[in-house]
Amino acid sequence: MSIATNNIAFNVEKIRKDFPILNREVNGYPLVYLDNAATSQTPKQVMDAIVDYYSNYNANIHRGVHSLSQEATDKYEVARKKIQQHFNAKKAHEIIFTSGTTHGINLVANGFASFLEAGDEILVSALEHHSNIVPWQMLCEKTGAILKVIPMSEEGELIYETFEELLSKKTKMVFLNHVSNALGTINPIKKIIDKAHEKGAAVLIDGAQAAPHIKADVQALDVDFYVVSAHKMCGPTGVGVLYGKEEWLDKLPPYQGGGEMIATVSFEKTTYAGLPHKFEAGTPNICGGIAFGAALDYMNNIGFEAIARYEEELLDYATLKLQEIEGMKIYGTSKEKTAVISFNIEGLHPYDIGTLVDKMGVAVRTGHHCAQPIMDFYKIPGTVRASFSFYNNKQEVERFIEAVKKAKTMLS
């Protein structure tokens, strides 16, 4: 399939050649990898950036006067600027390197312990990953703040009218995902951000599931915090980014103490470095940051609009084919969603389906997807989740459908 873009022609078969893992077999079958919402695969171009770092300029950054250190520092800071430009942050120092989305959320939650008092309210959506629930529960236990939940509908959409009712002068913060990892629902975050700001509340958006599909403009969104993980975006594990408005990052206290995040240290008093170093204690994942920049280069060269259009075609095709299977129930039927399908087949446990399709070379995710409140809402133990990326093709969708059909026959 070829889709014209402003950058290059989108050719899925050409793109697939960039991903060596797609050539392997699993249990004697060619791999069909449909667990992209958990982690995406990595193209050769990103692997090359990793090998280049360790082969040619592996050194610690920011502190050394020698050439390798300066070269590594330059490449790391260039990656920060690439990320700034990708998300359209106003300033490069508003981009804080983290170990991933979970780290970024915990950093902000820890900082807000300094601002909240007993009786203050914070709002979370019913669609959240555990990483965007548990840190806020811990914050409430520490401060006496009250956690309130924005409910969801049967279709997997947030009930906006109830969100408006929950907002009050007591609301200090609102946090939700841009896209649900379990259902693929795209939330109306701009509308929610604007409404929250009317009450003076700060907003954190978990962008981990959105970032592989949607190019978020943090200035246009006017969001206070936006967090992502590189491994969802063709990058390596163990690295991510917290975007924060400068005024908020200046207010938040440091999350960790150590080297790099200080200006001066004595046994009497320590003063902290400015942004972004204030939040980047210790030796960072230097190679990971550089590789994240390379991953963004790769995806932007393909074009996010082309990626979104192509993935929507895969989603529509797979949804249509799955609905032909008797007993099929799809969860998450939002009008706006990314390429994720969560489903069950009547009378069958999702784990059993996932195990059997793996025997046929098809990788899907089963369980509650770290979103147990969603499963509790539907009164189910979990789902089978197939999540698609721009390097998947329709032949893989057909293999997936056939594997599900065979699993159903074997389990019935």
3-state secondary structure of 337: strand
Q: Residue 133: CB partners within 8 Å, gap ≥ 6?
A: 124, 373
370 is catalytic: yes
Report the 10 Å Cβ neighbour count for 218: 23
Burial class (CB in 10 A: 0-12, 13-18, 19+), 274: exposed
Q: Which of 140, 234, 287, 370 is catalytic?
A: 370
Contact 34, 364 (CB under 8 A): yes
C-alpha 316/C-alpha 325 separation (Å) is 15
Q: Are strands 340-345 and 328-331 parallel, antiparallel or unpaired?
A: antiparallel
Q: Name the strand (E) or helix (H) holding 190.
A: helix 189-198
The distance from CA 322 to its chain's CA centroid, rounded to whole angstroms, is: 26
User: Which of 220, 370, 390, 202 shows the shortest CA–CA distance to 300?
Assistant: 390
The CA dihedral of 314, 305, 182, 94, to the nearest 10 degrees, is 160
Structure tokens at 12: 């899925």
Strand partners, 186: 179
Task: Cite the active site residues.
Answer: 370
